[in-house]
Structure 1
Amino acid sequence: MQQILFIDDEAPIREAVQQWLELSGLAVRTCARAEEALALLDADFSGVVVSDVRMPGMDGLALLERVRALDAELPVIMVTGHGDVPMAVAALQQGAYDFIEKPFTPERLLGSLQRALDKRRLVCENRALRRQVAQRGCIEGRLLGVSRAMEELRRQILELAPTSVSVLIRGETGSGKECVARCLHAFGPRADKAFVAVNCAAIPEQLFESELFGHESGAFTGAQGKRIGRIEHAAGGTLFLDEVESLPLAQQAKLLRVLQEKSLERLGSNRSIAVDLRVISAVKPDLVAEVRAGRFREDLLYRLNVAELHIPSLRERHEDIPLLFEHFAQAAAERHGREARPLGAAELTGLLTRDWPGNVRELANAAERHALGLGGGTGAAAAPQSLGEQLEAFEAQCLRQALQQCRGNIAEVMALLQLPRRTLNEKMQRHGLSRGDFLPAGEE
């Protein structure tokens, strides 16, 4: 939970401010001296510093300088007496977030604090994302996201990666099925072997057999040399069959035989070639329905679907959208030699109210347009929503973020959002949100 660090050498003021803020649901810690406060701060401090300007020993301006040296993005609010306003203006020029003149009302302090806390939360979230990206050897650096759905997906991947079982990945277009498949490969014992991706929907039917199984020279008209097929090329590693539902029935039977016998014969050859590989498949439709419709072999389905992973759509993990967008926009800005453009509140609302039928792929495209300064990068592509609908969507997103941040702890959510329990329960029910969906994995 974010914390307020309040520094003032006068005990009555410290006590009064602490009481005001705690009644408003904020966590507060007070200090009488700047030196005492500095010992409590580091670059990962998630809250806001509020300090009087005139204090014995180290004054507020010296404290501001030390805090900015520690973390230039940590908000510091200066509290000044009537005669210290010119000093406070100088503090703003030196990087203070705001200044408040004594005597001040609780409302004035709370308003400034809420804005500073929101800014600090975004800074901390973006830093956490960048740390994930920097951890290229870790799964968090490959599958970005802080939602519970993504935490669970990463846990499942790490459980399945060391095994050799076939995995079927289900997910909508653009949700990241190949990325998941590559994680299963990268975090398993075959990581140093080939990862061969085959888009089954992109291969003409007459070329399937040659592409998958290979051919010998002269096997058919135009076969002027020997060709190693995709399956043989993946031997020892991983074969990824994207859009596996597009496999022609004739090739399904041949693939099933290869998986059962762990060997293949190139087209035009009678020699069996042993192949040891792991098969990961990806599909958009329900393969059981495809089996019922006679378009997919039931025995092959059982062979491919020993374990199944479901990738949540972007609309199922709205809390990941700001982090993902910032990552894609930063990467695009670096690719094109541009300065990263900040995301405004209206643009953020536009992101959160879109349906994202293209999922992460569509979000990455919007982020690139934003980085290039092109119009329409974050605007709503779906039918325009009324103000009421946009407010409802934004309220739902705020609730999701608070539940995620507090890991389902209702008391902390009430304090964070300053809502009574009954109001919070009504809003959660209206938006279809359940506390259980945000609890840490393994907790009920």
Structure 2
Amino acid sequence: MPLKNSKKSGQWSILIILALLVVSGVSWWSSNLHSTPARAASIVDQVKVDPQPPAARPPQQAEDACYCSSDIYNCNNFQYQQEAQSCYDDCQAQGRGDIHELDSNSNGLACEELPLEPTPVTSQATPYTDPALRDPVFRSLANADNLLTNGNFEADFYGAPELGFEPPETGWIPNSWGWFKSQAYGKYNIYGNEGFALVCPDDFRLFTNSALSLSFHIQSSDQPDARLGIYQTVSVTPGQQYLFAMQGAIQSQPGAGSPDINNRLEVFFDQGGGTDWQATPHEKWTSLPWREQELEFETSGPQDPDLARIQEYYTIIKPSSNRLTVFLNAWRRWPNWRTTIFTVDCVSLTPLNQVDVAALAPRLTQLSTTAVDAALKGSGGVAAPASVSGQPAAAPVTGAVIAPAAGGIVDTKSNWLLITAVSLLVILGLVGAGVWNARRQKE
């Protein structure tokens, strides 16, 4: 009898251990699901620092270079005389002579009986033909002076080793811009991406590419008030009005947002030209009225585009001194482990008298809204942490800071089905084990 009971106890223990292993495995899978995307849709994984195209290959090294090791061609293998001539010249350069016998009269011209290839007519986009310039605001900005340097992020980048998710990964900051980051724990990065390819007014004015935008990437932040941004100081005329414009999008992994908008893009204009992003109370920063959009992790088909809808922001600034600093800030208000990518492009500061004001008027954005002000007042007065540049630590957080139910680290709203399924599985396993044990005792 003791031996029999011992076997039953051992079997019972094995079932319990198996159930616990199942629970642990499913919990691990749930915590790691979507935590690190293999590739965010339309966002590059590797930062492209040099936006310049590679140099063209010499003709004799082109991928379709002529085969000169043996006589396998004649004039019938070519459609145009230029193609035959290219092959002839290629073999001459390799020291093989006229191995294919394309020059019948030895005058240096190959297959003269073939027609000449039509000369292609190349049309380059101009401020008068490109579809983007049908927009009167865009057209006026393309012909205006942008006081911000590298506002289209098509110039070079410089490295920021303090950024990046895992060594040796580093951040890349656009030239002519400074950067800042709060000390809230998390993963931060700034980099150029090719996922949007927005056409900016500066692309026409400066004859640059339209390949890069700038992204702020925040993930696995388990402290409130995570901030990441850039800034630039310019010379202005006091009392003159300027138009500030930018485009972009906020893409969040499901579960990273909350009802009170957990991820925001902010802008601030320091009228004294200062570069300390912590010197100004948070209440004076402006939250852009851009909605969060879903960040997809798998490339979809043509009926389900992965790119977010690009949003715009326009506002008028009137400097009070001869120096003005523009701050752009990606702000995650509440702790969250999921991924948010803030993308900006076409950033400009232009004298208002150079812009089509009549076309611009319907697009102007208020500097503050009732909804944003109410949300900031209800935040409990979260103080900005110290920056990575070695500035003094910020004052302690005052007031109560309570994370909303849908904006915290544990997203029960998206995981309740999984938790319920695992619980039912464990209960059914235990009930089954009890029934089996009862039957064994009757035997």
Q: What is the TM-score of this pair, normalised by structure 1?
A: 0.20
- Greater CA radius of gyration, 1 or 2? 2
Higher relative contact order (CA 8 A, sep 6+): 2
As a proportion of its length, which structure holds more helix? 1
